[in-house]
Structure 1
């Protein structure tokens, strides 16, 4: 059996409302400077293409990045993840950064 842990998946869109898409270099810098200090033991990055129905009824899509974060559940880590999401929204003019949380059992 494994250990009870928390899994969080934040999803970051790479398009901006007015301007160029977020570059690979900008994403990497954000990971290195903002995310890695909070999760120095490791994380996984997933490349994806998001799709949703806009308020105007038009189907929209954009390139995105997801993180797979596994950690011992704590209020401090949860708050740190919310700060990461807020920082990304501020830096890159994003409306939202989706967050998915679930308890998991992890063994190495």
Structure 2
């Protein structure tokens, strides 16, 4: 997998962002450094019903496709950690808390 790391580093920032969005997540064990905004974008992509909030089920799917172990457990923990208004969803204001919490699990953020 070192080839993937070298390839990503040689891309321009705009192409790099597009490449991150197009990467399918079956690359378990590969960690690519991404920005907080890119991680927020990945999470927002899983807002399937378009209500502007991420449910536990949507978050579970995101974690599963990111290759994290125990995605249901992690989604529940993330909701409890980041859901400041305790409505059971992650909204735009709470997204920063979610990103910070997700970075504890090996998601490299720069």
TM-score norm. by structure 2 comes to: 0.30
Higher relative contact order (CA 8 A, sep 6+): 1
Task: Give the structure with the larger helix fraction.
Answer: 2
Of Structure 1 and Structure 2, the greater strand share is in 1
TM-score (structure 1 length as normaliser): 0.31
